[in-house]
Structure 1
């Protein structure tokens, strides 16, 4: 079955069977073309109306002091706030905090283990253990 392509009002093409065109009578084709012309005219009118409304919107924003930069800043602030309260961000912050705390605790315990007080305590524990175990010292 042969196919033809017809350009639509928005610049795209629709594929249709040429036999469909052949099945239409001359008055039906004229009627469809008239409807198409009216529809395309409506589209143009709507585009003009939309452009006018966008201009009016811009004027009102300028009068209110809402420039594009202010709007962008507000959007960025809101987005950053949304990120901060998101579960993923909170989990990452918690994970980072716990990791940092764990590292600090390890360093502190390492420092305590090297301190003279801990070594003295360790020696005392070794002495007590050797007395309890009957003179056998397990620690070097």
Structure 2
């Protein structure tokens, strides 16, 4: 990615530069761009070599991602913010558990629990009775429908 040296605008600062300085700067720029290009080529060659080594070692991209994620999680867990948050969450959970236990042992909750249990038992018994009653009606209606067939055999017309 070379910058065209012919298109470099003149220096507009307070001190004008001489033609010799200008030529020196152009040469320095060109040399620096060539060095950058060489470094890119070396870097690409090294990256290719790394990929070949990983392939020979059997290191898959998935294993790399997994390792990076595990490292990131470890760093997060080691951070002070995470540790403080974990402490606060644990304390909150403990407080909620304590309050829940206190509430369950309160007379108001026990009274409510008893009334709810009684209501549930009553509803269950009523539903069971209704189902038994409906079942009895069905059995009676089925037997009534079958009774005429058993009492009056089909007539034989010969």
Greater relative contact order, per chain length (Cα 8 Å cut-off, separation 6+) = 2
Question: Any gaps of 5 or more consecutive residues in structure 1?
Answer: 1-7, 117-140
Answering whether residue 68 of structure 2 is matched by residue 75 of structure 1, we say: yes
Per residue, is there more strand in 1 or in 2? 1
Number of aligned residues: 105
CA deviation map 1:92-118 (0-9, x unaligned)? 2222222122122222222323169xx
User: In structure 2, what is the equivalent of residue 42 of structure 1?
Assistant: 35
Answering whether residue 11 of structure 2 is matched by residue 16 of structure 1, we say: yes
RMSD of aligned Cα (Å): 3.2
TM-score where L is the length of structure 1: 0.57
Answering whether residue 90 of structure 2 is matched by residue 97 of structure 1, we say: yes
User: In structure 2, what is the equivalent of residue 130 of structure 1?
Assistant: none
CA deviation map 1:26-57 (0-9, x unaligned)? x5544443443333323222221221111111
Question: Any gaps of 5 or more consecutive residues in structure 2?
Answer: 112-158
Q: Cα gap change, 1:69/1:15 in structure 2, threshold over 3 Å: closer, same or farther?
A: farther
* Larger of the two Rg values belongs to structure: 2
TM-score where L is the length of structure 2: 0.51
